[in-house]
A = this chain, B = another copy of it.
Amino acid sequence: MTGEKPVIVLVRPQLGQNIGKAARAMLNFGLTELRLVAPRDGWPNPEAGPAASGADVVLGRAEVFDSVADAVADCSAVYASTVRRRDLMMPVVGPEQMAAAIRSLRGRAAILFGPERSGLATEDVALATAIVTVPINPEFGSLNLAQAVILLAYEWSRGSDLAQPPAKELEAPAPQKDLDGLVGQLEDHLEAAHYFFPPERTVATRQTIRTILTKARWSSREINAVRGMLRAIAEPRRR
């Protein structure tokens, strides 16, 4: 087994039954870490167990978070399982590319799945490092939650026993919380400089900032260096 197992993050899942089915699909391919962001009907959910068909170990260890940002704070790579989003400028990979990247990652990866009905919201996808899209029949494009989970879990497991040592990245990309720290600091500086104008553009601008900084894939050390430079530029008088 190379690389850490990815974490499966269900964002605002609706039915307990589907959480159970997702847990079963995970365990079929050896994945055990499930995180739930604001499950609609609370947690634990009595409908999850029967649907898990014995994958209770996954449900028992499931952790609940208030936000996607909290759920992926310790992850160095975050994949958003969704269809292509033309509104976001992000890398789009297939399941195979994602699996290979996860196996060679130093640090943990998370895979985000959206609510059954609506899928991931734009602001959830924006937190990811890449979109992962299963190439399905363009004329019939709906995968249910457990099916999406099982396909990506299967794809991850395909290469997990391969003996060849994958090329490792030199320095691990920083965990998401470090990236969040950089984004927050830059936004504070920009706020102080009255950069966010006009107000109606602010959300899009913040989105762009996050996308640009996410793309850089900096390590924690590099992020610290950038934060130091920004601080120096923003507060020159202190020095």
Contacts and interface: CB of A to CB of B under 8 A. Distances in A.
A210 to B, nearest CB: 12
Interface in A17-44: 24-25, 27-30
Contacts of A24: 142, 144
A133 B171 CA distance: 19
A28 B229 CA distance: 47
A131 B165 CA distance: 14
A90 to B, nearest CB: 8
A167 to B, nearest CB: 8
Nearest to A134: B154
A73 interface: no
Nearest to A187: B229
Nearest to A149: B147
A122 interface: no
Nearest to A189: B233
A92 interface: yes
Nearest to A168: B92
Contact of A143 (B28, B138, B157): B28
Interface in A52-96: 53-55, 84, 89, 91-92, 94, 96
A85 B238 CA distance: 37
A42 to B, nearest CB: 26
10 contacts: A28-B137, A54-B142, A89-B171, A135-B164, A150-B151, A193-B232, A194-B232, A215-B218, A216-B217, A216-B218
A-B residue pairs, 8 tightest by C-beta: A216-B216, A193-B236, A195-B232, A92-B168, A193-B232, A27-B140, A30-B137, A189-B233
